């Protein structure tokens, strides 16, 4: 097993607790499914959110999946002119037997196209 990093991102339609919860859960579930990740494979998860998302921490939404025992951290995304709005990004650190090139990164909704250079 090697330590790997898996990237993902999604956008919200509105800055609400409901939208944050549904979109973060959708993103994490997709990351877990596409990469055959088990709970115990995950080492830690870092979330960033754009400045226009203030209703809820993404990590709080992630706890709805039952991953409260995994270290979760939130940070502010750098506010760059023209950047994708209402965007949550994720970097998940996990142990995996997959090679780095076999990791399937996940970009949903308005975040599609942020990292076209990474395989899905």
Sign of CA dihedral 39, 42, 44, 45: negative
Q: Which of 4, 77, 86, 87 is catalytic?
A: 77
The structure tokens listed for 106 are 């996940």
Quote the tokens at residue 31: 């990351």
- Residue 104: active-site member: no
- Which of 7, 34, 98, 109 does the annotation list as catalytic? 7
Q: Of these residues, 74, 98, 104, 109, which one is catalytic?
A: 74
In the residue annotation, 87 being an active-site residue is answered as no
Say which residue the tokens 């750098």 belong to.
78
23 is annotated as an active-site residue: no
Q: Is 89 a catalytic residue?
A: yes
Torsion angle in degrees (nearest 10) through CA of 101, 103, 104, 105: -100
7 is catalytic: yes
The active-site residue out of 34, 104, 109, 115 is 115
Query: Of these residues, 34, 63, 104, 109, which one is catalytic?
Result: 63
Hey, which residues are catalytic here? 7, 63, 74, 77, 89, 107, 115
């Amino acid at each position: 097993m090697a330590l790997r990093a898996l990237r993902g991102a999604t956008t919200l339609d509105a800055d609400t607790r409901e939208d944050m919860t549904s979109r973060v859960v959708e993103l994490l579930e997709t990351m877990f499914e596409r990469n055959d990740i088990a709970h115990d494979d995950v080492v830690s998860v870092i979330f960033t959110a754009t400045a226009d998302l203030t209703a809820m921490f993404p990590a709080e939404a992630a706890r709805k999946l039952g991953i409260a025992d995994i270290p979760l951290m939130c940070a502010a995304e750098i506010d760059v002119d023209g950047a994708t709005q209402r965007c949550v990004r994720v970097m998940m650190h996990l142990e995996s037997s997959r090679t780095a090139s076999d990791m399937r990164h996940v970009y949903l909704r308005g975040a599609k196209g942020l990292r076209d250079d990474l395989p899905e």
